Structure 1
Amino acid sequence: MRDYRLIRAFFWLLLATLIWGTTFPIHKVVLTDLQTLPYLFIRFGIAAVLSFLIWKKHSFKYGATLGVILGLAHALQTYGINFTDASKSSFITSLYIPLTPIISYLIEKEKPNFIQWVCFPLSLLGSYMLFGGISGFNFGDFLTFLSAVLFAVHIVLITKFSKVVDETSLLAYQFLFAAIINLSMSFNSNWKLGVPIWLTVIYTAIAATIVVNFLQVKYQKVIGSNSTVLIFIGEPIFASLFSFIFLGERFSGLQIVGASIMIGVIILTTFSYRVNKYLKKKLDLKEL
């Protein structure tokens, strides 16, 4: 029964990364930099209203905490990309992956198992190869790094809070405060949003916000923050795949190797609990 719960959690969280991945080519086609913050405000605002209507219980304290962190993370990432390259921004954002086990240990005392210790540096290598790494470090990179820290904190706190209160009570106020944060930074933005952007808002508010965050609050606590963040490296892989299919983007051999490493990490993570159990038994170690 425990194995079934774990596999089901892995599947639904991987589906969440697939949904996230679909948004990247859409954003690239329909959004400009000056429209991003208004878009995020409306996206999270719609998600908040729907969540208040769908669910009856709402935790202000925990939901608001998650919302402020999520809103600041998105805002810093969006603002920071104005001062750096998109590839650098993507790679620096991916640093939330190795940051998560550090923050998870500080907050929840969750230690990576042996397989996760192997997977974290592999995921960083794969991300470096996929995004091209970084050259130099500027103010935009610093803001993006801060967003990566906040994304990592957000993942760990979802795991922690979902063990304390009803899972769905974490959603409505989280989206509301994320919307407020993005609104507060969007007054110099372009508020002329056409039909394609409104269609994107509706899709992302429902699928990439409500559905994905519901899957997070429901299943992260089953497998823990460390396994969750290793599954989330599927997001850039799916984003690249959909960009290839719908936008005709091409990738170098190095990028393909990087993506292959990250796919291997996801597969290894999915069965890490079995592999770790086998190694413990085989090597007769109390803890790996």
Structure 2
Amino acid sequence: MDAPFPAMGRAMKHASLFAEFGCLAVAVIWGSGFIASQLAIDAGLSAPVIMALRFSIAAALMLAVCLPRLKRLRRGDLACGGLAGIFLFGAFFTQIVSQQYTTVSHCAFLTAANVVIVPFVAWALGGRRPTLRTLGLVCGVLSGIGLLTLKPGEGFSFNFGDGLALLGAVLFALHISYLGACLEGRDPLLINLVQVGAAALISLAVLFLWQGSGPPAVDWRAGLLPAVYLGAFSTCLCYLLQTVAQKHTSATRAGLLLSTEGLFGSVFSVALGYEPLTVNLLAGGALIFVCVLLLELLQETPPGPSPRRRPCRFFHFL
């Protein structure tokens, strides 16, 4: 009678390894997504065009995946996913625009700072006050940002693109905090479908208003494939992988692996010749990366939906 238990243990171990590999794959694809965005930008695609293509493709693919589940879609799911889609659109839109004014590495590492912003968003919206340890790690991230933007002989050069990337990190933190409050008891795939669909509708509306004066010259041959990659892989596949993977591994391990996104984005950027490998990039990027990892590793409660974590009071009204 004891024979099935070792087999069950091996199956659980294999599932956990698969889940952790899946989270790492998500981080790699997200990191490469910064390069895909840059390729689309270099081809002349505007931010609204990239966003509309990205989320329309992702929404169509998610709809195909979720067709058997649509009968379980509730009004509350529409409200939850709709607001999440607004945050998601804002985060990705500012990220795309920021890449037009700053480097891929700056954008990647500043986006990764959303992990240390989440506790402060939760606190501002009625959650628990961050610990001294969290404050210390935030200071480390700020120091890393300072190193990233320090140019020898010129001083600090925190430009418009860096500011937009940091704003995007705040919006990603709002998105994470909101989903952590509203996802409990809901189907994550349906919520993902609604949020991606909402982001697609907003993107199309912004595109209509943005392109009122006529579309710019675009090299579609060079720009279309990166946009398709962003929709099919960086959005649809990654959110599906993350949803499945986090059922078979701890939130802390998943967070640690997913937080390597900024590192992979910078590695791809340097390897492909988009920017040189400088001392400032190494030191600032390493400091941000280590602080993000420590926050994930040492946190007392995991991010995202958890029965042990009380949602922010603000979200009860949404």
TM range (shorter): 0.7 to 0.9
If the length of structure 2 is used for normalisation, what is the TM-score?
A: 0.67
Give the Å deviation of 1:109. Answer: 2.9
Question: CA distance change for structure 1 residues 267 and 175 in 2, over 3 Å: closer, same or farther?
Answer: closer
**Ranges in structure 1 where 5+ consecutive residues have no aligned partner:** 278-288
Match for residue 235 of structure 1 among 257, 261, 272: 261
Match for residue 173 of structure 2 among 152, 157, 162: 152
Give the Å deviation of 1:75. Answer: 2.8
Question: CA distance change for structure 1 residues 37 and 89 in 2, over 3 Å: closer, same or farther?
Answer: farther
Matched, 1:174 2:200: no
Mapped to 2, the partners of 1:219 and 1:115 lie a distance apart of 29
Q: Which residue of 1 aligns with 2:226?
A: 200
Matched, 1:45 2:66: no
Q: Whose Rg is larger?
A: 2
**Ranges in structure 2 where 5+ consecutive residues have no aligned partner:** 1-8, 302-318
Q: What percentage of aligned pairs have identical amino acids?
A: 22
Contact (CA 8 Å) 2:256, 2:293: kept in 1 or not? no
Mapped to 2, the partners of 1:265 and 1:49 lie a distance apart of 37
Mapped to 2, the partners of 1:72 and 1:113 lie a distance apart of 28
Give the Å deviation of 1:200. Answer: 1.7
Matched, 1:210 2:266: no
Q: Judge which range, 160-169 or 45-54, deviates more.
A: 160-169
Give the Å deviation of 1:22. Answer: 0.7
Mapped to 1, the partners of 2:140 and 2:49 lie a distance apart of 36
Give the Å deviation of 1:46. Answer: 0.9
Mapped to 1, the partners of 2:229 and 2:81 lie a distance apart of 22
Question: CA distance change for structure 1 residues 167 and 272 in 2, over 3 Å: closer, same or farther?
Answer: same
Contact (CA 8 Å) 1:234, 1:262: kept in 2 or not? no
Give the Å deviation of 1:249. Answer: 3.2
Alignment of 1:127-138 (within 5 A): 127-132=145-150, 135=157
Q: Secondary structure at the match of 2:272?
A: helix
Q: Secondary structure at the match of 2:275?
A: coil
Letter in 2 for 1:212: C
Which is richer in helix? 1
Aligned length: 271
Letter in 2 for 1:25: I
Match for residue 109 of structure 1 among 127, 141, 148: 127
Mapped to 2, the partners of 1:127 and 1:228 lie a distance apart of 24
Match for residue 73 of structure 1 among 56, 66, 91: 91
Mapped to 1, the partners of 2:98 and 2:290 lie a distance apart of 31
Give the Å deviation of 1:241. Answer: 0.5
- Superposition RMSD in Å: 4.0
If the length of structure 1 is used for normalisation, what is the TM-score?
A: 0.73
Mapped to 1, the partners of 2:269 and 2:125 lie a distance apart of 36
| Residues 196-235 of structure 1: per-residue CA shift (max 9 Å, x gap) | 32222232212210122235556679866x9977765522
Question: CA distance change for structure 1 residues 81 and 202 in 2, over 3 Å: closer, same or farther?
Answer: closer
Letter in 1 for 2:239: N
Q: Which residue of 2 aligns with 1:26?
A: 36
Give the Å deviation of 1:12. Answer: 4.6
Mapped to 2, the partners of 1:39 and 1:63 lie a distance apart of 21
Letter in 2 for 1:18: V
Mapped to 1, the partners of 2:94 and 2:87 lie a distance apart of 11
Contact (CA 8 Å) 1:66, 1:158: kept in 2 or not? yes
Mapped to 2, the partners of 1:117 and 1:252 lie a distance apart of 28
Question: CA distance change for structure 1 residues 241 and 53 in 2, over 3 Å: closer, same or farther?
Answer: same
Give the Å deviation of 1:132. Answer: 4.1
Q: Which residue of 2 aligns with 1:280?
A: none
Letter in 1 for 2:123: Y
